[in-house]
A and B are shown apart, each in its own frame.
Chain A
Amino acid sequence: MDLSIFLQQLVNGTSLGSMYALIAIGYTMVYGVLRLINFAHGDIMMVGAFVTYFVYQTSGSFTLAVLAGILASVLVGVLTDKIAYKPLRDAPKISLLITAIGISFFLENLFNVLFGGVPRAFKAPEMLTKVLHWGSIYLPVTVIIIPIVTVTILIAVLWVLYRTKYGMAIRALAFDIPTVKLMGVNADTIIALVFALGSALAAVGGVFYAVSYPSIDPLMGVIVGLKAFAAAVLGGIGSVTGAVLGGFILGFTEIMVVAVFPELGGYKDAFAFFFLILVLLFRPTGIMGEDLERSRF
């Protein structure tokens, strides 16, 4: 592989990794506070992509469409918590997990019934579909924009977590919910905030996915969601920086393996899960993880 191809794949990997990272943050934050793998998270991303698609079609404004998509995901995420998870706060964790799987099936099938299962072409604004080229390197604008937006969002998330009192409450909640209540904090509000943040990031990830591929369907969240989950575990579930690291590692590996062994292209989805199995076998706590009983924001 010559240098130009390597560089091109490097950028592609960063872009794909960004998408995984954005979605993985939601998995890791919800796990951090509730010890729940929110299996509906990938579908919340799908909701964001669909709403963005429809609003863009009707209004013609991409900015408005993305904002609407984010808002829709936030609503669905927060409502899911309120309706499905909140009544189970004191129930065994397995009940919560089964409920999450139920919500996932519900959202997938609801969108299937409402909009059909046929993939829809996602036409992004021209500004995002341009392809730049220097010599033999061809780069779609998106692969440059996506990492920049992701890093900006990541900095914002870390700022919220480490520089605001709400972020402080989220970190405290990850260790000790009853004591957070003793501080006069409504724990449910903080948990809702976690769902809102995670869902907003998932929506952005969903839009990136839709623009890059460029199509959407009601099951688009399944594989991407599972891979982002693998990324979160790889990075150390409960750790935000770990989730981002895991996302990038997964994105790079996937792109590079296909670039180096094109004949394995059909297996690219399998790598994420191969990684997941390796991590679970040899370092169950992930890269940034130290203790499975605690999460580390």
Chain B
Amino acid sequence: MLDIKNLQVYYGVIAAVRGIDMHVDPNTIVTLIGSNGAGKTSTLNAIVNAVKKSGQVIFDGKDISKEPTHRIVREGIALVPEGRRVFINLTVEENLRMGAFNNDANYERLRDEMYTLFPRLAGKREQKAGTLSGGEQQMLAIARALMSEPRLLMLDEPSLGLAPKIVGEVFEIITELKKRITILLIEQNAFAALKIADFGYVLENGTISLADKASNLLGNDEVRKKYLGG
């Protein structure tokens, strides 16, 4: 579904991603784990062309490396950005409407689906997104991304800054979503990510140091030491 070849991201002379190859199969959860500054966010931003990059990104057989961000999103990739980035001055419902900007015909059906999937949001439709709690904002960000009916959903650190109980809820929803779409998940919380993922990549200093089935990575000594706290 998604093929990344020799992807490089530079900020000036500083390399964030130094030529990585990745592959995401349809209807799987693939996770990219690694410590802070390993290049995880840069990788996702490069896929949607939100940062300058070189290398190839192939989505469903089509080279989208040179497409502008909004076109890539229209192709069927949605990114839930780091820090959620909900539109805090817009209401919950307006945030969902923004997510369906190019999907007018299905807006109402999807909106109602989202309120079923995220009951916490249903009671806060007319509330400004800025007044929501961190967990609710994360759910709104995911719901907003789903409003474009993407085939590939990319999540950047969905557990960041959330209470453990909420992290559990968010991960439950991600597992639930796996039934219908493909997911590329970035996490610092490697344990939680590997538990729900099919395949995993370990990113270190902008290069991929390990790529294996998620279950194998969970048992890997090196991974356990570095990312799973022993």
Query: A-side interface residues toward B, CB under 8 Å?
Result: 165, 168-169, 171-172, 174-176, 178-187, 294, 296-297
Report the contact-size class of chain B (Cβ under 8 Å from the partner).
20 to 34
**A182-B81, A183-B99, A184-B101 known; A175-B89 Cβ under 8 A:** yes
Interchain CB contact under 8 A, A181 and B98: no
Q: Smallest distance from the beta carbon of A54 to chain B beta carbons, Å?
A: 39
Docked CA distance A175–B89 (Å): 8
Interchain CB contact under 8 A, B70 and A179: no
Cβ-based interface call for B90 (8 A): yes
**A171-B90, A175-B88 known; A182-B97 Cβ under 8 A:** no
B152-173 with Cβ < 8 A to chain A = none
Cβ-based interface call for B79 (8 A): yes
In the complex, the chain B residue whose C-beta lies closest to that of A186 is B70
* Chain A residues with CB below 8 A from B71, complex form: 184
Cβ-based interface call for B48 (8 A): yes
Cβ-based interface call for B85 (8 A): yes
Interchain CB contact under 8 A, A187 and B70: yes
Docked CA distance A184–B70 (Å): 4
**A165-B97, A169-B101 known; A181-B69 Cβ under 8 A:** yes
Residue from A180, A187, A294, A297 in contact with B98 in the complex, judged by beta carbons closer than 8 Å? A180
* Chain A residues with CB below 8 A from B88, complex form: 175
In the complex, the chain A residue whose C-beta lies closest to that of B94 is A168
Cβ-based interface call for B102 (8 A): yes
Interchain CB contact under 8 A, B50 and A178: yes
Interchain CB contact under 8 A, B69 and A168: no
Docked CA distance A186–B68 (Å): 9
Docked CA distance A294–B97 (Å): 22
Interchain CB contact under 8 A, A175 and B101: no
* Chain A residues with CB below 8 A from B94, complex form: 168
19 contacts across the A-B interface (CB closer than 8 A) = A165-B98, A165-B104, A168-B94, A169-B98, A171-B87, A171-B89, A172-B90, A174-B89, A175-B88, A175-B89, A176-B87, A179-B85, A181-B69, A182-B79, A182-B85, A182-B145, A185-B102, A187-B70, A297-B89
